[in-house]
Chains A and B, each alone.
Chain A
Amino acid sequence: MLNSGTDMTANDDDDRELLEMYLDDELSPDQLDQLRARLATDPAVAAEVENLRSERQLRAAMFSSLEGGEEAVVERALAEVHSLDQRHQRRAGHVRKLRYAMAAAALIIVGFLVGWMGATGGKSNASASEPPYRVEILDESGQVMAVQKFQTLEKAREFSDDLQQWQVRQERLLNGQVTVHSAKY
């Protein structure tokens, strides 16, 4: 049987746990039937349920007393959220502009062509006095954007290698945004 206050036996403690579960609506149907039978016949158990109920009522009042004042907190939190959002959008805008600028720069050198322009070959407008080797810088559609001429093949290759390395660096920076459309030697 349940005693009042805190002078409890082990059985009382088990009983209290059972009664708490009853008030928490956590008893199985069998447990509920058994407890209802006890409540009908044992006034001490019924009294303990009332005691636990009043303790719970006090806690409910305490929890309710913690409510209120949330408006200011919510407004501050949402202001912070909006500010984060704006910062994020500004940063995204900057990154986008930077990417466009880098992509534009990279597209100028999407391809290069090293060719021999000697008297027996090459382009029709090449004259015999011009340096025989040239590196053409092509855009993505294959149009010649710039031409650099060289007296030797080694120098032309060296320049073209430098260009290629530069382009690789650009591609890495752009994280795959630019592809090489032609790389002819």
Chain B
Amino acid sequence: MAETKGDLFEKAVRLHSRRLLAIARAIVGSAAAEDVLQQAILNLYQHRERYDWTQPAGLMRRTVVNEALRLLRQPRMSLVADDHPGRSETPVGGMIQAEMIQQVRKAIARLPEHFRAALVLCEYENMSYVQIAEVLDASVPQVKTWLHRGRRQLAEKLKAFADERKLKDAQ
């Protein structure tokens, strides 16, 4: 028997939710990310008959990013809360210290929301500038600017942290 749109929807949710939740966490922080993913799933479900569920990754990613940005635009929502414990093992293992990763998370949380969204889509989802522009409803030059400024601001913040750390070690 052929799968219904409801079946395909559920399969897609289970298949992509790991990355979708990580994207939401990168944009809105851990506390609100679950709400973002849940609302995105509900939104997709309500319109499931409209969509082609054979290639759902782009649609789901766009829905999560839009929901995350919508949440951040609400008056009371501002900065990312950083309470996700994270995985105990990172891909680069012991080469990168957990403390450094924490600093990167804190630094990213302080970036403007569109810088964060562009960065996660570019470096985590490996999307092209054109695709990012489409998801974020922006132009390609805007995306380039957001990425460049975001990376520079991160580098400055991390450099300040590294300098502070060196100073502490020296004392």
| A-to-B contact residues, CB < 8 Å | 5-6, 13, 16-17, 20-21, 24-26, 52, 55-70, 73-74, 76-78, 80-81, 84-85
Contacts and interface: CB of A to CB of B under 8 A. Distances in A.
B20 to A, nearest CB: 8
B144 A21 contact: yes
Contacts, number: 117
9 contacts: A58-B96, A58-B100, A61-B96, A61-B104, A66-B105, A67-B22, A69-B21, A70-B37, A77-B41
A150 to B, nearest CB: 54
Contact of A65 (B10, B86, B144): B86
B123 interface: yes
B42 A81 contact: yes
A57 B96 contact: yes
Query: Main SS of the interface on chain A?
Result: helix
Contact of B26 (A66, A68, A70, A84): A66
B142 interface: no
A7 B39 CA distance: 44
B90 A65 contact: yes
Contact of B156 (A6, A25, A80): A6
A53 to B, nearest CB: 12
Nearest to B38: A77
